[in-house]
C-alpha cells in the first residue's frame, strides 16, 4: 500500500464550513496541493440542513441561508480547482501524517500529507450522556437529527414536541417544527440562562409564543414504544430537581439541544493534546496543535456560535498551513519556539483559543476567542500582560451562549519582551 | 365408571372445544394447526441455546416469541459477564451449570464466531473484617470446581488494576471469568439454530396452552397464539420473566417469578480500559452488587442495581438508581470518568424465591419442560442449560442425531475490528463495506445489509444496532439513524416512514412535513 500512497501538501479532514474556508485560504496563499476529505455526499457540512437565514452577516455583509453560505465557499473550491473526495470516511490519522480513509469507489486508501487541517466539526450531546432517566422509546432525537429529517428528508419526527436544552439548534428547530405544523409545547433549560443566541430566543421562541422554562429539566421519560410524555421539574442552584415541582407534559417527540462536543477521536488517536474545557485541541497563534504541521479550526477546535467566525478562524488555519509548507521547502527550522506566551483564562473566562502566542510568528493582530461561564451584566473584560492591566473593556451583557473576543496587537507584545502570561478575566 | 364417563366427557369436550377453536382460527386467520415436535417459548439466550442444541437432532422445532426480534427480554440488558462460578451456592444448579457454561463458552465462541474474552474477575473487599467473606467465596468456588481461584493482596491488585480504589484490602481473583456480548451470543445461537432448521415465530404471543389427551394426538400441547394454533408434544418454557405465567397455564403447582430490575450506565470506549478485569464488590442478598467491567466491545460498564418491580415491562431507568450505580461504582475504582457515560439502560431478572434455577420436566405436565428462574448467572449458564434441556427432551422424545448438522456459524464481519488487509479484502468483495454509516463504531453499509439479509435478519433500527453496533457509540445514533433507516427501507422494500425502532408502535417518523 505504501508504494502507491498519494501525497498532498495539505489534507483537510472535513468539508464543512471550516474545511472549505481553510482550503480556500491555503490555495489563495499559494498552496496547490490540497485534498479535502468529506464523509457526506456533498460539501458544506451541517450548513446544508440549516435552511434558516442569519448566516454571513459578518463575512458577506448579507443574510444568507446555510446552503447559500456554503455555496459561496463550494463555488470558490470549484473555481480554484481544489480537489476533494465525497462519501469518504477517514478512519485513522497517525503522527507521520498518514491518513487512512475509505469510500465505495476507491476502497481503503492511505494518503501522505505534509500538513493536516482538522476540521471534523462536532456532534450533539445525546440523551445517554445526560443520563436522563426513564424509558427508551422511539421519538427521542437530538435537535440536529430532527433537523436532518425535516429539512433534508421532508419528514416529521413528530407533532407534539418538547425540547430539552436551549442550544441554538433546539431554538431553530422549535421554529421549524412549528412552521411545519407541529406544536412545540415547551423548551426547558436546566441553567438559569439560555445556551443559545439572544436573537434566536426572540425570533424562534418569543415570536411564536413558545414558552422557555429556565432552571427546568426532564426527570422522567414515559412511553414504551413511542414516547408519550415527559416529567418536567424545576431545579435548584445545584441543578438538582426540587421536590414537588414535577409537571407531566404529554408529547410524542422529545428533542435534545443540550450541547455540542468537538469530534476529536481521530485527533486523540494521533496524540493531539486536548483542552478539557473545550474538548478541542490546544493550539497556538497559528491554530497549530502540539503536533507540528497539524492545525485545527472550526467546531472541532471549540464550538462556535456563528459560522462567520468559523470561516475567519479556518482561513487563518489554512494560511498558516500554507506558510508551514513554504517554510518546509525553504528548509526553515522554525519548529520550536523557546517561550511562547501562555494565555490564562480565569475569573469567569472559561478558556481561550489560542492558548499560546508566539509574538515573532503572529499576525499584526491576533483575535483571541473565548466564552464566559455565566451571565455577566455591566462587567468588564480585563486583560493583563503578566500583572499589568492593559485593557479593560466594558460589556453590557455577556452570556455563555455567545462567544467573546479580544484583539492583541503584535506591536504591543513586542514592547514586552519578557512577557510570560496574558491573563483574561471578567471584572465588575 | 362414573369417573370414567366423566373423563370421557371432558375428553370429548376438549376435542370439540379445540376443534371449534382451531376452526375459528382457520376462519379468522386463514391458518391451520402448526405441528412441531418441540416448541420453545421464548427467544432469549436460553430459548436460543436450547434451540441450537436440539437442532442437532432430527426433530421439527419452533421457537415462539412475542417480540419483534430475538433477544428482546432479559437477554438484551444485563452485565454480559461469563462468571467464573465462585459465587453460586455449592451444590446448586446455578453453581454446576455456571462452571460448565463458563468452560463451554470459549469453544462456542469459536464455533459460532462471537467475541468472548477471558479477562478474569476480582471480588474486592474494603475492610480487614471482610476477608472471611472472601475466603468463604474461595471455598465455595473451589467446591464448585472453579479453576485457578486465589486470594490476592492490595499490592498485586494495584498492579493488576491501577485505577482500583485506595480502600481495597484484598480480593478473590478468578482468572476464568470472562465477558461476552449478550446480543452477539443470543443472535449467534439463534442464527445457527435457524440454519439447522429451527423455525422462529416472532411477534407470536402465547395466549393459552391446553394439554390434549386424545388418542390421535398422544399427549400433545395445543398452544394458542395471536398468530394461530401450534401443537407439539414437547413444550419448553424459556419465557424469562413471564415463565411463571406460561408454567401456570399447564401446572397446578403454581410458581411466581419476580421481575428484579437492574440499572446500568455504559461509558465511552475512550475509557474502556479503565479496568481490565471485572471488578465485583462482596455479594449481598440481592445479588452480586454493582460491578465495574470492560465490555467485550471495549466500553466500560457499571451496574446493576437490584429492585423488585410489579410490572414486568417496567424496564425504565430512574434517577435514583442511576445515582446509586455511580456512587457504588465509585467505591470500586478511583475517579470514575462519569463524564464519559454515553447511555444508561435497565433490565429485568427473572427471580424465583428459591434462589436457584428450575430445569426439569413439570411434574404434573408430562412433556412440558421448565427452564425457569434463569437470573444471574443465566447468561454464563446458557450453553450448559441448552445441553441439559436437550438431554431432558431426548429422554422423553428420543430422536436420532442429524448427519448434516452445521456446527459453525459465521458472524457479520466487523470492519472496526478487522486488520487493514482484511478490510481491503472485504471492500473488494463488496464496495458497500467501504461506506461508513455509523462513524462512532465504524459500521459500514455492507455490514448493515448483511444484518438485514441473513437468517433472522434485522427489520428495525434496534435490530440493526444489536447485530452490527450501528448506533451504539458515543453519539447514540444521532448521525447514523437516518442513514440506517434509509438502508432498512431500501433493502426491505418498505417506506421510510414505516421503519420502527423496535417493532410495534415504535414508529420513528410520524408523517411528512406539513402533514402531521
Write the CATH number for B473. Answer: 1.10.10
**Residues B251 and B261 both lie in one domain:** no
**Residues B321 and B203 both lie in one domain:** no
Does B78 map to a domain?
Answer: no
Residue from the list B424, B435, B440 with its beta carbon closest to the beta carbon of A104: B435
* Cα Rg, chain A, nearest whole Å: 23
User: How distant is the Cα of A415 from the closest Cα of chain B, in angstroms?
Assistant: 43
**Residues B286 and B148 both lie in one domain:** yes
Burial (CB count <10 Å: 0-12, 13-18, 19+), residue B84: buried
Q: Which residues pair with A186 in a beta bridge?
A: A162
DSSP state letter for B413: P
Dist. CA B411–CA B187, nearest whole Å: 9
Dist. CA A388–CA B448, nearest whole Å: 61
The pLDDT mean for chain A works out to: 95
Chain A residues touching residue B516 (CB < 8 angstroms): 156, 158-159, 180-182
Predicted pLDDT at B26: 47
Dist. CA B139–CA B280, nearest whole Å: 17
User: How distant is the Cα of B342 from the closest Cα of chain A, in angstroms?
Assistant: 5
Predicted pLDDT at A94: 96
**Residues B275 and B343 both lie in one domain:** yes
Q: Does B482 touch chain A (CB under 8 A)?
A: yes
> Which residue range forms the structural domain that includes residue B222?
30-73+183-256+355-396
**Integer angstrom CA distances of residue B245 from A13, B41, B393:** 57, 12, 21
Omega before A354 within 30 of 0, i.e. cis: yes
Predicted pLDDT at A309: 97
Residue from the list B313, B509, B514 with its beta carbon closest to the beta carbon of A180: B514
Does B290 map to a domain?
Answer: yes
Residues B344, A133: C-beta atoms closer than 8 Å = yes
Q: What is the ipTM of this complex?
A: 0.94
Per the document, the length of chain A is: 428
Predicted pLDDT at A103: 97
Which H or E run includes B425?
helix B420-429
Task: Give the tens place of pLDDT for each residue, B166-205.
Answer: 999 999 999 999 999 999 999 999 999 999 999 999 999 9
Does B16 map to a domain?
Answer: no
Chain B residues touching residue A89 (CB < 8 angstroms): 435-436, 439, 442
Predicted pLDDT at B4: 39
Residues B474, A134: C-beta atoms closer than 8 Å = no
Q: List the pLDDT tens digit at each of the 428 positions of chain A.
A: 444 689 999 999 999 999 999 999 999 999 999 999 999 999 999 999 999 999 999 999 999 999 999 999 999 999 999 999 999 999 999 999 999 999 999 999 999 999 999 999 999 999 999 999 999 999 999 999 999 999 999 999 999 999 999 999 999 999 999 999 999 999 999 999 998 899 999 999 999 999 999 999 999 999 999 999 999 999 999 999 999 999 999 999 999 999 999 999 999 999 999 999 999 999 999 999 999 999 999 999 999 999 999 999 999 999 999 999 999 887 665 555 567 999 999 999 999 999 999 999 999 999 999 999 999 999 999 999 999 999 999 999 999 999 999 999 999 999 999 999 999 999 99
Does B162 map to a domain?
Answer: yes
**Integer angstrom CA distances of residue A367 from A256, B246, B394:** 32, 70, 79
**Joined grid coordinates for residue A105:** 469507489
Predicted pLDDT at B7: 41
Residues B427, A226: C-beta atoms closer than 8 Å = no
Predicted pLDDT at B215: 66
**Joined grid coordinates for residue B427:** 471492500
Contacts of the segment B405-409: beta carbons below 8 A, 24+ positions apart: B405/B55, B405/B56, B405/B196, B406/B192, B406/B195, B406/B196, B407/B111, B407/B192, B408/B111, B408/B112, B408/B113, B408/B192, B409/B111, B409/B112, B409/B113, B409/B188, B409/B191, B409/B192, B409/B195
Q: What is the CATH number of domain A1-124+259-336?
A: 3.50.50.60
**Residues B432 and B482 both lie in one domain:** yes
Residues B516, A181: C-beta atoms closer than 8 Å = yes
CATH number of the domain within which B198 lies:
3.50.50.60
**Residues B453 and B317 both lie in one domain:** no
**Integer angstrom CA distances of residue B443 from A372, A380, B206, B483:** 38, 49, 36, 12
**SS3 letters across A223-239:** CCCECCEEEEEEECCCC
Which H or E run includes A408?
strand A404-409
**Residues B277 and B343 both lie in one domain:** yes
Predicted pLDDT at B254: 97
Residue from the list B436, B476, B505 with its beta carbon closest to the beta carbon of A128: B476
**Is the predicted pLDDT of residue B420 greater than 60, yes or no?**
yes
Task: Give the tens place of pLDDT for each residue, B292-327.
Answer: 999 999 999 999 999 999 999 999 999 999 999 999
Q: Which of residues 327-366 of B touch A (CB under 8 A)?
A: 341-345
Predicted pLDDT at B452: 98
- Best mutation target, A14, A129, A268, to test chain B (most B CBs within 10 A): A129
Does B166 map to a domain?
Answer: yes
**Residues B422 and B279 both lie in one domain:** no
Chain B residues touching residue A105 (CB < 8 angstroms): 431
Dist. CA B273–CA B294, nearest whole Å: 6
Q: What is the CATH number of domain A126-258?
A: 3.50.50.60
The rounded Cα A8 to chain-centroid distance in angstroms is 26
* Residue B500: φ, ψ to 5°: -115, 170
Contacts of the segment A234-240: beta carbons below 8 A, 24+ positions apart: A235/A190, A239/A190, A239/A191
Dist. CA B85–CA B178, nearest whole Å: 11
Q: At what angle do helices B461-468 and B481-492 cross, to 10 degrees?
A: 100
**Residues B478 and B367 both lie in one domain:** no
Q: Which residues pair with A404 in a beta bridge?
A: A370
Does B11 map to a domain?
Answer: no
Dist. CA A211–CA A186, nearest whole Å: 5
Chain A residues touching residue B479 (CB < 8 angstroms): 123, 145
Does B503 map to a domain?
Answer: no
Residue from the list A136, A149, A253 with its beta carbon closest to the beta carbon of B482: A149
**Is the predicted pLDDT of residue B231 greater than 80, yes or no?**
yes
Task: Give the tens place of pLDDT for each residue, A232-287.
Answer: 999 999 999 999 999 999 999 999 999 999 999 999 999 999 999 999 999 999 99
* Residue A18: φ, ψ to 5°: -70, -50
Task: Give the tens place of pLDDT for each residue, B46-89.
Answer: 999 999 999 999 999 999 999 999 999 999 999 999 999 999 99
The domain tally of chain B equals 3
**Residues B172 and B191 both lie in one domain:** no
Q: Name the 3-class secondary structure at B137.
A: helix
Cα torsion angle, A339, A340, A345, A351, sign = negative
Residues A155, B500: C-beta atoms closer than 8 Å = no
Distance from the first to the final alpha carbon of chain B:
69
**Residues B188 and B48 both lie in one domain:** yes
Q: Which residues pair with A22 in a beta bridge?
A: none
Dist. CA B363–CA A235, nearest whole Å: 57
Pairing label, strands B228-237, B34-41: parallel
Residue ranges per structural domain of chain A: 1-124+259-336, 126-258, 339-428
Dist. CA B269–CA B298, nearest whole Å: 6
Task: Give the tens place of pLDDT for each residue, A1-56.
Answer: 444 689 999 999 999 999 999 999 999 999 999 999 999 999 999 999 999 999 99
Does B205 map to a domain?
Answer: yes
Dist. CA A32–CA B412, nearest whole Å: 43
Shortest CA distance from B496: residue in chain A: A155
- Best mutation target, B77, B476, B498, to test chain A (most A CBs within 10 A): B476
**Residues B247 and B309 both lie in one domain:** no
Select from B301, B274, B84 the least CA-distant residue to B160: B274
Amino acid at each position: 500500500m505504501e508504494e502507491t500512497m498519494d501525497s498532498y501538501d495539505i489534507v483537510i479532514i472535513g468539508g464543512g464550513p471550516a474545511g472549505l474556508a481553510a482550503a480556500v485560504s491555503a490555495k489563495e496563499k499559494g498552496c496547490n496541493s490540497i485534498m479535502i476529505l468529506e464523509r457526506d455526499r456533498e460539501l458544506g457540512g451541517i450548513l446544508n440542513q440549516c435552511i434558516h437565514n442569519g448566516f454571513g452577516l459578518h463575512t458577506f455583509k448579507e443574510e444568507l441561508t446555510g446552503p447559500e453560505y456554503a455555496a459561496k465557499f463550494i463555488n470558490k473550491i470549484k473555481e480554484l480547482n481544489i480537489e476533494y473526495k465525497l462519501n469518504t470516511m477517514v478512519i485513522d490519522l497517525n503522527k507521520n501524517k498518514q491518513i487512512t480513509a475509505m469510500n465505495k469507489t476507491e476502497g481503503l486508501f492511505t494518503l501522505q500529507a505534509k500538513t493536516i487541517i482538522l476540521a471534523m466539526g462536532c456532534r450533539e450531546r445525546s440523551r445517554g450522556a445526560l443520563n436522563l432517566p426513564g424509558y427508551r422509546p422511539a421519538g427521542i432525537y437530538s435537535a440536529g437529527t430532527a433537523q436532518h429529517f425535516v429539512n433534508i428528508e421532508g419528514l416529521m419526527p413528530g407533532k407534539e414536541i418538547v425540547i430539552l436544552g436551549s442550544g441554538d439548534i433546539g431554538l431553530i428547530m422549535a421554529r421549524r417544527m412549528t412552521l411545519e405544523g407541529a406544536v412545540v409545547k415547551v423548551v426547558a433549560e436546566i441553567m438559569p440562562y439560555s445556551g443559545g443566541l439572544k436573537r434566536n430566543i426572540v425570533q424562534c421562541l418569543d415570536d411564536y409564543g413558545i414558552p422557555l422554562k429556565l432552571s427546568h429539566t426532564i426527570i422522567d421519560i414515559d412511553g414504551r414504544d413511542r414516547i408519550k410524555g415527559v416529567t418536567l421539574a424545576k431545579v435548584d442552584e445545584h441543578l438538582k430537581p426540587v421536590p414537588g415541582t414535577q409537571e407531566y407534559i404529554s408529547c410524542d417527540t422529545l428533542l435534545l439541544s443540550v450541547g455540542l462536543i468537538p469530534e476529536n477521536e481521530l485527533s486523540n488517536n494521533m496524540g493531539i493534546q486536548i483542552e478539557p474545557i473545550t474538548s478541542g485541541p490546544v493550539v497556538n497563534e497559528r491554530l497549530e496543535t502540539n503536533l507540528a504541521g497539524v492545525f485545527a479550526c472550526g467546531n472541532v477546535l471549540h464550538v462556535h456560535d456563528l459560522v462567520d467566525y468559523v470561516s475567519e478562524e479556518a482561513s487563518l488555519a489554512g494560511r498558516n498551513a500554507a506558510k508551514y509548507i513554504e517554510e518546509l521547502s525553504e528548509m526553515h527550522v522554525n519548529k520550536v519556539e523557546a517561550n511562547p506566551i501562555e494565555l490564562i483564562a480565569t475569573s469567569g473566562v472559561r478558556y481561550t483559543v489560542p492558548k499560546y502566542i508566539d509574538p515573532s510568528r503572529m499576525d499584526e493582530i491576533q483575535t483571541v476567542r473565548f466564552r464566559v461561564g455565566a451571565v455577566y451584566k455591566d462587567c468588564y473584560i480585563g486583560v493583563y500582560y503578566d500583572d499589568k492591566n492593559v485593557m479593560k473593556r466594558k460589556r453590557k451583557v455577556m452570556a455563555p451562549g455567545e462567544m467573546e473576543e479580544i484583539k492583541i496587537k503584535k506591536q504591543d507584545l513586542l514592547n514586552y519582551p519578557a512577557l510570560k502570561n496574558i491573563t483574561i478575566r471578567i471584572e465588575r | 365408571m362414573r369417573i370414567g364417563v366423566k373423563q370421557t366427557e371432558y375428553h370429548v369436550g376438549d376435542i370439540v372445544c379445540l376443534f371449534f377453536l382451531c376452526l375459528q382460527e382457520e376462519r379468522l386467520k386463514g391458518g391451520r394447526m402448526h405441528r412441531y415436535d418441540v416448541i420453545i417459548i421464548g427467544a432469549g439466550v436460553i430459548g436460543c441455546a436450547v434451540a441450537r442444541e436440539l437442532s442437532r437432532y432430527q426433530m421439527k422445532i419452533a421457537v415462539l416469541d412475542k417480540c419483534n426480534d430475538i433477544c428482546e427480554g432479559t437477554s438484551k440488558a444485563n452485565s454480559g459477564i461469563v462468571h467464573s462460578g465462585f459465587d453460586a451456592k455449592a451444590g446448586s444448579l446455578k453453581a454446576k451449570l455456571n462452571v460448565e457454561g463458563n468452560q463451554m463458552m470459549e469453544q462456542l465462541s469459536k464455533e459460532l464466531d462471537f467475541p468472548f474474552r477471558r479477562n478474569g474477575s476480582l471480588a474486592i473487599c474494603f475492610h480487614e473484617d471482610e476477608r472471611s467473606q472472601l475466603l468463604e467465596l474461595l471455598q465455595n468456588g473451589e467446591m464448585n470446581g472453579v479453576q485457578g481461584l486465589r486470594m490476592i493482596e492490595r499490592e498485586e491488585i494495584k498492579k493488576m488494576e491501577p485505577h482500583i480504589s485506595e480502600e481495597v484490602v484484598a480480593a478473590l481473583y478468578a482468572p476464568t471469568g470472562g465477558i461476552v456480548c449478550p446480543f452477539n451470543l443470543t443472535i449467534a445461537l439463534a442464527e445457527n439454530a435457524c440454519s439447522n432448521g429451527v423455525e422462529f415465530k416472532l411477534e407470536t404471543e402465547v395466549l393459552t396452552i391446553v394439554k390434549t389427551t386424545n388418542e390421535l394426538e398422544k399427549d400433545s400441547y395445543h398452544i394458542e397464539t395471536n398468530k394461530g394454533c401450534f401443537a407439539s408434544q414437547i413444550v419448553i418454557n424459556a419465557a424469562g420473566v413471564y415463565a411463571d405465567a406460561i408454567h401456570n397455564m399447564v401446572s397446578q403447582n403454581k410458581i411466581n417469578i419476580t421481575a428484579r430490575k437492574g440499572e446500568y450506565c455504559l461509558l465511552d470506549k475512550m475509557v474502556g480500559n479503565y479496568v481490565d478485569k471485572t471488578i465485583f464488590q462482596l455479594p449481598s442478598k440481592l445479588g452480586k452488587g454493582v460491578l465495574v467491567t470492560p465490555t467485550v466491545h471495549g466500553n466500560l460498564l457499571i451496574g446493576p442495581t437490584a429492585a423488585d418491580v410489579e410490572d414486568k415491562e417496567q424496564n425504565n431507568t430512574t434517577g435514583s438508581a442511576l445515582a446509586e450505580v455511580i456512587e457504588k461504582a465509585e467505591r470500586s475504582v478511583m475517579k470514575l470518568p462519569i463524564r464519559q457515560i454515553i447511555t444508561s439502560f435497565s433490565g429485568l431478572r427473572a427471580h424465583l424465591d428459591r434462589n436457584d434455577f428450575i430445569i426439569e420436566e413439570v411434574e404434573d405436565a408430562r412433556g412440558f419442560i421448565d427452564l425457569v428462574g434463569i437470573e444471574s448467572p443465566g447468561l454464563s449458564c446458557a450453553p450448559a442449560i441448552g445441553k441439559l434441556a436437550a438431554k431432558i427432551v431426548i429422554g422423553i422424545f428420543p430422536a436420532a442425531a442429524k448427519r448434516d448438522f452445521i456446527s459453525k456459524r459465521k458472524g457479520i464481519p466487523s470492519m472496526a475490528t478487522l486488520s487493514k488487509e482484511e478490510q481491503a479484502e472485504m471492500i473488494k468483495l463488496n464496495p458497500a463495506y467501504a461506506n461508513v454509516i455509523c462513524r462512532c463504531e465504524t459500521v459500514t453499509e455492507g455490514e448493515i445489509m448483511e444484518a438485514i439479509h441473513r437468517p433472522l435478519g434485522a427489520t428495525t433500527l434496534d435490530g440493526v444496532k444489536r447485530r452490527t453496533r450501528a448506533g451504539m457509540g458515543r453519539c447514540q445514533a444521532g448521525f447514523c439513524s437516518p442513514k440506517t433507516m434509509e438502508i432498512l427501507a431500501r433493502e426491505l422494500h418498505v417506506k421510510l416512514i414505516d421503519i420502527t425502532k423496535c417493532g410495534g408502535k415504535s414508529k420513528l417518523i410520524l408523517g411528512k412535513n406539513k402533514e402531521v
